[in-house]
Amino acid sequence: MKCIDESQILKNSKRKSTIDKVVGFLFLFVTLICASIIIFTIVLIAYQGILPFIKEYPASGNQVSTANLGIFLTGLSWSSSGYGAFFLVINTLYVVLLSAIISIPASILTALFVVKIAPKVVGEIFQSGIEMLASVPSVIFGLFGQGVICPIIRDFAFGIGLQTSGGTSVLSGAIVLAMMSIPTITLVTITSLRSVPKTYIEGSLALGATKSETNFKVVLKGATSGIISGIILGLGRALGEATAVSLVIGNAVSGPTFNIFDIGSTLTSIMLMGIGESTGLGYDIRFSLGIMLMVIIVLTNLILNYVKNRVTNPFKKPSKILNACKTLIIYIKTYFKKDKDNEESSK
């Protein structure tokens, strides 16, 4: 039998604990790398995006050109003579809003059907169908949009006496984006509908509400925060989507356009336009669009998160700034009301 004395055990355990520490530090280092990806990404895009406004790019002849920040923030056309991105922001938000109008009701109703209304087997079939739809790559949605949706839009517009450029339009873009965000929103909504406490439903039924009244007025309310998380994810996917949109939206270089049958463009579709051809300023200005895109995504997330918090905790006190805004609005209202009262009394 092997004899182990105490000092050896101690030595052994000490060695093991040092190995543990070293491995722990190594693993921490790798984890730090994983976590720093987002910081690096933001810093690099910000740096490269600001560069076009500072650096001098060689232009035709001996001249140099630099992008103009004022034009970039307010401009309504995108060309080598001036890169204006304001119309892109407006159009991006418009297209995503249109797609949200289609996708949000469709996804919520679909999720409700899958969880509460359909028989179990049918619900499972629908759910796996939606999971499949979620795994379809975006470029295939673009192919479907260009091959099927655009001709339909073209014929429809022709039927009501409008001209489109082969069906590529803001509406086609919105429909394709809606199709892509429906599975995302639906799957998250399904999860949150499943987690609504059974007591809510039983209570509502006991009070005499019918099943569908319970579903629409109690279950949906109980799942609101989950539904909004789904909407955040879905809109995030729609805002950041590039290839599918660039295939169906028509890539207009000026705008903004609010006519749904007109060709439009989004931040991402302009980023992909003329890829591989341009160098210098025309290429680097894309990174500035990248900053714009990230800012929009962060802002929408913040707004929707705020809405989510308000809906889930309506009794939480609003912050000081909001209180100030509210008081200001009340003041303005009373001021105008006074004017009205004065007018009425003078009559």
Q: Residues 103-142: x/- map of binding to other proteins (CB under 8 A)? A: --xxx-xx-xxx--xx-------x--xxxxx-xxxxxxxx
In DSSP terms, which residues pair with 65 in a beta bridge?
A: 57
Q: Pairing state of beta strands 64-65 and 57-58?
A: antiparallel
- Nearer to other proteins (CB atom), residue 88 or residue 242: 242
- To other proteins, the closest distance from the beta carbon of 346 in angstroms equals 48
- To other proteins, the closest distance from the beta carbon of 302 in angstroms equals 12
Within 13 A of 146's CA, how many CA atoms are on the CB side? 13
Nearest residue to 107 via CA among 138, 134, 135, 140 = 134
Contact 167, 150 (CB under 8 A): yes
Residues 219-278 that bind other proteins (CB under 8 A): 236, 239-243, 246-247, 268, 271-272, 275-276
- Nearer to other proteins (CB atom), residue 25 or residue 258: 25
Residue 183 identity: P
Interface pick for other proteins out of 227, 287, 292, 308 (rule CB under 8 A): 287
- To other proteins, the closest distance from the beta carbon of 2 in angstroms equals 15
Interface pick for other proteins out of 11, 16, 194, 310 (rule CB under 8 A): 16
* Long-range contacts of residues 89-92, Cβ cutoff 8 Å, at least 24 apart: 89/267, 89/292, 89/296, 90/255, 90/256, 91/170, 91/255, 91/256, 91/257, 91/264, 91/265, 91/266, 92/239, 92/266, 92/267, 92/268, 92/293, 92/296
- Nearer to other proteins (CB atom), residue 209 or residue 307: 209
DSSP letter for 113, please: I
N-terminal to C-terminal alpha carbon distance within the chain: 114
- To other proteins, the closest distance from the beta carbon of 187 in angstroms equals 11
CA 145, CA 139: separation in Å to the nearest integer? 10
Residue 82: strand, helix, or coil? strand
- To other proteins, the closest distance from the beta carbon of 13 in angstroms equals 8
- Nearer to other proteins (CB atom), residue 34 or residue 321: 34
Residues 25-84 that bind other proteins (CB under 8 A): 26-28, 30-41, 44-45, 48
- Nearer to other proteins (CB atom), residue 97 or residue 275: 275
Q: How many residues bind other proteins (CB under 8 A)?
A: 83
- Nearer to other proteins (CB atom), residue 76 or residue 294: 294
Which residues are CB-contacts of 243 (< 8 A; sequence separation ≥ 6)?
A: 138, 139, 142, 272
- Nearer to other proteins (CB atom), residue 275 or residue 311: 275
Residues 159-198 that bind other proteins (CB under 8 A): 179, 182-183, 186
Residues 298-337 that bind other proteins (CB under 8 A): 301
- To other proteins, the closest distance from the beta carbon of 314 in angstroms equals 25
CA 203, CA 253: separation in Å to the nearest integer? 56
Residue 165: strand, helix, or coil? strand
- To other proteins, the closest distance from the beta carbon of 156 in angstroms equals 16
155 is a contact residue toward other proteins (CB under 8 A): no
- Nearer to other proteins (CB atom), residue 106 or residue 162: 106
DSSP letter for 223, please: T
CA 83, CA 42: separation in Å to the nearest integer? 22
Interface pick for other proteins out of 50, 53, 90, 144 (rule CB under 8 A): 144
- To other proteins, the closest distance from the beta carbon of 299 in angstroms equals 13
Q: Pairing state of beta strands 82-83 and 78-79?
A: antiparallel
Residues 195-224 that bind other proteins (CB under 8 A): 210-213, 215-216
- Nearer to other proteins (CB atom), residue 131 or residue 341: 131
